[in-house]
Amino acid sequence: MVLTASQRWSPHALMTGQPAGQRQGPPTFDASVPHPSRMWNYWLGGKDHFAADREAADEAARAIRLMPSTAQATRRFGAETVRELAVSHGISQFLDIGTGLPVGEATHEVAQRALPSARVVYVDNDPIVASHARALLVRGGTGKTSYLQLDLRDTSAILAGAAKTLDWGRPALILLSAVVHFIPDADDPWAIVARLKAAMAPGSYLLVAHMASDIAPEAVASMAEGYNQRAAVPVTPRSREQVTGLFEGMSLVAPGVAPAGRWWEPSPGHSSPGHSDLPAYFGLGVKP
């Protein structure tokens, strides 16, 4: 469910480490450099990671012990939102930007089990993710699931490529799960998201999961500093106000842009220690 580009804290590899306008194509594979997509895979119990990824992931978890729990909560948020919108609202189109390495059920499996006619487009620019996506995620020949190897900032190409599978004249859900915090302020993530929203039909939804700068701020700052020293693509944690700005022009679904733990009621007789302290904001908006 994001945080990546050749290096990242989430499941998404959407950036190349170069400023916008200077990108030279998809990042290359280097097992000696910690890769956020593989770090995320490690936290989720997957098998697609190397020593450098495990070391970096463990270091991040020492700074914030709830990092693995944050990864799990982010994944749950995405899957439950896809399922709910398909079942209860009839949303049958999904653009998952920042696919990441598959662990458990993928977006198309959740969506198409709930609504067999559902169509899903995955976007990620990491070559490792691309090979997995083409082998495991995309159902060849059905026309219901496709993959684009593109950078999140290449919004025009993403929207045009997705239009081969999705109909932008009908409502859709765009997932930006643990991805936007890998776009620096200099590249104006609010403008990038605005371009995506402009293409959406009324009744469409936007999901965002974003690393928080104002939840456990000292621990988050320490983790981000350590990560940024290793990675080619720095992470930029943001405040609730900044994350809320990504939903400008949309109506927020309750509980709004809120800490991860506020999106679920605690189960009777079950508690998740520290769950309310997960350093991430989740939000879901609908276009009027």
Is the pLDDT assigned to residue 21 strictly greater than 50? Answer: no
Buried b (16+ CB within 10 A) or exposed e, 170-187: ebbbbbbbbbbbbbeeeb
Count of other CB atoms within 10 angstroms of residue 28:
11
Q: Which of the pair, 247 or 32, is modelled with greater confidence? A: 247
Q: Is the pLDDT of residue 41 over 60?
A: yes
Give the pLDDT band (50/70/90) at residue 102: low
Domain ranges of the chain: 66-213+238-264+273-286
* Model confidence at 44: pLDDT above 50: yes
Mean pLDDT of 208-237: 87
Which tens digit of pLDDT belongs to each residue from 65-87?
Answer: 667 778 888 888 999 999 999 99
Q: Look up the pTM and report it.
A: 0.82
Contacts 24+ apart (CB under 8 A), 137-142: 137/99, 137/102, 137/106, 137/108, 139/108
End-to-end CA distance of the chain: 25
Of 145, 150, 151, nearest in space to 164 by CA: 145
Residue 6: per-residue pLDDT: 31
Asked if CATH classification 3.40.50.150 holds for the domain at 66-213+238-264+273-286, the reply, yes or no, is yes
| Cα 233 off chain centre by | 15
